[in-house]
Amino acid sequence: MKREFAAIAAALLILCGCSAKKVQDSSAAAPAETETTSQTQNASSEAPMNDADAPVHMETVPSGEMQTKPIAPEAHFSESFTDVPYEFQADLEEVVSISLTLPHFTLDSDDAANVINQTFVDLQKNLQNYMGTTVYETAQARHTIGFLEGSYVAGLEDGILSVTYTVTERYADDDGAITHENVYRFDTSSGEQLDA
């Protein structure tokens, strides 16, 4: 009971903090231009469906409003990154389906890369919980099939790694989609998540 409540609370925090909007075309949001973009490669990852971790800090910021937080000149930060995305797919009782493409970064600092990558492992767990509660319950109540999809664009500028992660929630009985866009910014010298 407590685990279900935690999952529902996490899902509500994600939805409330993400300025969800109904969109007729899920590709309406154009990603911001960045110096380096990610390349997609397939890999598989399995994470337990029932892990209920604390919600990941997520904020919605229109791509045009991204600002760079200065880093101290003595700080060493990555000037480039490597990204080997992995895909996660799962179904729940043939009622809902989840398909996520998540980043896995390699930076000059292994410690910073591990901190950043853990953010997206936690995001995957939170989205699985959201699929298993909110999307599942909505699909059952509407007697339809629900879909949760996630993708991202990453870029690096002045030692700041920016990742715009887009989650699209849609249902078979409706032509529209609900899109949540979250911007994550990281200091590549430490992996610290910065304010968006």
Tens of pLDDT, residues 145-155: 999 999 999 99
Q: What is the pTM of this model?
A: 0.61
Residue that has been written with the tokens 């043939």 in this structure: 94
**Exposed (0-12), middle (13-18) or buried (19+): which is 116, by Cβ within 10 Å?**
buried
> If pLDDT is split at 50, 70 and 90, which confidence band does 76 have?
low
pLDDT tens sequence across 10-49: 444 444 444 333 333 333 333 333 333 333 333 333 344 4
Find tokens 């870029």 and name the residue: 155
Quick check: 152 and 165 in contact, CB under 8 A?
yes
Q: What are phi and psi of 117, to 5 degrees?
A: -65, -35
